[in-house]
A and B are shown apart, each in its own frame.
Chain A
Amino acid sequence: MPTTAPVVPFPSPESGESSGPNPLASTLSPRRRWSERLATSWMIASLVVASIPLLLVLGVLIVKGTSMVATVDWWTKDIPSNIASGALASQEAQEAFGNTGTVREVEVVYGMAPAIVGTLITTGVAALLAIPLGILAAVYLNEYGGKSRSASIIRFFTDVMTGVPSVVMGIFVYTVWVLTFEERGRSGLAGGLALACLMLPVVVRSTEEMLRLVPDSLRQASAALGAPKWKTTLGVVVPAATPGITSGSMLAIARAAGETAPILFTVGVVTATNFSLFGQNTTLSAQIFGNATQPGGEAMAWGAALTLILIVMVFTLAARWISGRFAVRIDG
């Protein structure tokens, strides 16, 4: 311990961070100095190491996927069924087959419209099911259940449910819906059901957090004016929490749009656009998975991945923007 204590600015109470370089640094032993540096390097290195794959993935997607996605055909045409033919339409391949004569022209029109529509349909169905039910459940937990036994149990298991793997949700809808209705059961609707099961706990928890932030004074004012509880909830509390609820829901939608496993078992596969809830469909995530291992399908997989990331990012960034822009206004 030093004998003279230099004047040290006291660290500010509300920040969790240390207040800058240690004023006693000059008196540190080399071992302590090194362990401090090592620790800080570890923290920074962690951040860098975790960010590198992210940057690589996004970079590769943009480089490899843009040429596919930036065409009108991609957004409007059906998924090509002649990719294999296209990959084999070379002189080399035809000679290897033993075919003589001119190589037959194969025009592969790269389109992804069916998968884009399918993603929107399944995610839309999931949102329509999960968001209202989720808000209602959160209303129960926060406005009616409070700290009661049943509410705590529901809250706990909702948290647990967020950790259930998506493949299990897919198996669930597969066993209950597809195995019952056979091949007719494979549809955008079934896929939406599976995604809704995934979204529900997330919407419930995030909505409950938002409802909790609504100050009691609003509820009391509404009650003092004579409004019955349901009117207070629907007319005052929920609207007050709307930005947070919207942002939480959009994050849930973004996650659902990217899911693959539940889709694989419940939606089937098509190459032509299916606007209906019924009948087989396909989604971007399923297309990426299917094309990843198909020879000649790699380019389509990159394009579909870029399209999917665009959709997911739109929702994620919109959610962050909304919560950043509006969240502050609630307290007051």
Chain B
Amino acid sequence: MRIPDRFLRLVASVMLISITATACGLTDTSGDERFVSELDGLDIDYRTLTGTLNGSGSSFQDPLQQAVSGEFRRVARNVTVNYTKSGSSAGKADLAARTVQFAGTDSAIKAEERADFRDEVLYFPVVAAPITVSYNLAEVPELRLGPDTIARIFQGDIAVWNDRRIAEENPGVELPDLRIAVVRRSDGSGTTKNFSSYLDDAAANVWRLGTGESLEWPAATQGAEKSSGMSSLIASTSGAIGYVDLSDSVAARLQRALVRNRAGNYVPPKLPNARAAIESSTFDDEFLYDPLNAPGDEAYPITAPTWVIVAARQRSESTADALRGYLNYLLTEGQLIAPTLGYAAVPESIRQALIERIDLIRSSSEDRP
């Protein structure tokens, strides 16, 4: 009444083979040359870095963090970087509690939360990306919208596509007699916050819904969870319109509207225009800035910023080195990876200044006399 030996042996050999294969695959010893990016940065040999860097926060920059940390692992074999997209507020809280070494955030630390941080916090605006106004109208290849029109559409004042106010901005375009299906986020989101902040500023006389991560949308709107939920809903509904990050909109093959910026030009939500928005914004000493409704001629007015924040003082020297290395990578090679994912790299002058700022990260042991 025992399990027959042959069966046991078969099971055992299968397990043995799979474990061996796994072990072999994991001891990959390819390419141990020193990596240097095309862009100038600090002189760091990534191979000497060790340790684990944990980060959490903004889901807006999560695709970037995943891609960059994956590439980073290839050149810095002894460093593991983990990023968890738990939301900007959770990221800031984690950084204050020192459970992570860096955090991703779409907004600055509020004044009342400053006290939670024992050390000085350094902001690194690594990328920015356009928030597109994506729509689904097969017969309308190009759509132009000004901030007032956008505000009216999203708060329900304009209900059909061939409304006079949309037609005025799009002379010569045949707009269908179709109900507008407004799609918005049902979960709290920084994208909603940025989008509503933009409308609150650019369409101040029209926009009624205020600002925030989640708004009191009119009942006729459709809620979708997460950016991917929004883009798939827009893609499958004719006549839909919503606000979606550029990379999700492109991945879902949506149509994107040209938005009229402060200078009066209708610009597309493309990366050169996002870069123009960053360039025409003013940075303060801490490198905080607001590219929404930027003044530049070619600036795309709904460009959303995001930062990596770190504590200037790290506990150990190896953590400080690893952190400097990762930030250096983010600000050199990472700036080349970012555009392929739909994020705008920072202008060269800002990037150089940020590279120098990396040196401010020190370990507490280095301060001791």
Contacts and interface: CB of A to CB of B under 8 A. Distances in A.
B226 A94 contact: no
A81 B251 contact: no
Contacts, number: 109
Interface stretch (B66-74, B186-194, B346-354): B66-74
Interface string A61-93: 000000000001101111011101101110001
Contact of A183 (B99, B268, B337): B99
Contacts of A182: 99
B89 to A, nearest CB: 16
B271 A99 contact: yes
Given A88-B247, A88-B250, A113-B22, A97 B271 contact: yes
A269 interface: yes
A88 B70 contact: no
Contacts of A73: 25
B77 to A, nearest CB: 11
A322 B3 contact: yes
Given A72-B21, A85-B340, A295-B252, A98 B272 contact: yes
Nearest to B56: A183
A273 interface: yes
B1 A240 contact: yes
Contacts of B71: 82
A99 B339 contact: yes
Contacts of B342: 88, 97
B26 A75 contact: no
Interface string B330-342: 0000001101111
A168 interface: no
A94 B338 CA distance: 12
Nearest to A94: B340
B196 interface: no
A81 B1 CA distance: 48
B25 A89 contact: no
Interface in B45-92: 54, 63, 66-67, 69-71, 73, 80, 82, 84
Q: Which of B3, B63, B66, B340 has the most CB of A within 10 A?
A: B340
A295 B272 CA distance: 24
Contacts of A243: 1, 3
Nearest to A269: B84
Interface in B224-280: 226, 228-229, 246-248, 250-252, 256, 268, 270-273
Contacts of B66: 81-82, 84, 271
Instruction: Place the interface of chain A in its size category.
Output: 35 or more
A97 B251 contact: no
Nearest to A117: B22
A76 B82 CA distance: 20
A35 interface: no
A98 B273 contact: yes
A111 B337 CA distance: 22
Interface string A148-182: 00000000000000000000000000000000001
B6 interface: no
B248 A295 contact: yes
A52 interface: no
A37 interface: no
A234 interface: no
Nearest to A90: B250
Contact of A88 (B2, B82, B272, B340): B340
B111 interface: no
A296 interface: yes
Nearest to A87: B251
A293 B225 CA distance: 11
Contacts of B21: 72, 75-76
15 contacts: A72-B21, A72-B25, A76-B22, A78-B26, A82-B71, A88-B342, A96-B256, A183-B54, A240-B1, A242-B1, A272-B73, A293-B229, A295-B248, A295-B252, A296-B251
By Cβ-Cβ distance, the 3 closest A-B pairs, closest first, are: A76-B25, A98-B270, A81-B70
Interface of A: 72-73, 75-78, 80-82, 84-85, 87-89, 93-94, 96-99, 103-104, 106, 111, 113, 116-117, 182-183, 239-240, 242-243, 246, 268-273, 280, 293-296, 322, 326, 329-330
Given A88-B341, A89-B340, A117-B22, 9 more contacts: A82-B67, A85-B63, A93-B250, A94-B340, A96-B270, A97-B342, A98-B271, A183-B99, A243-B3
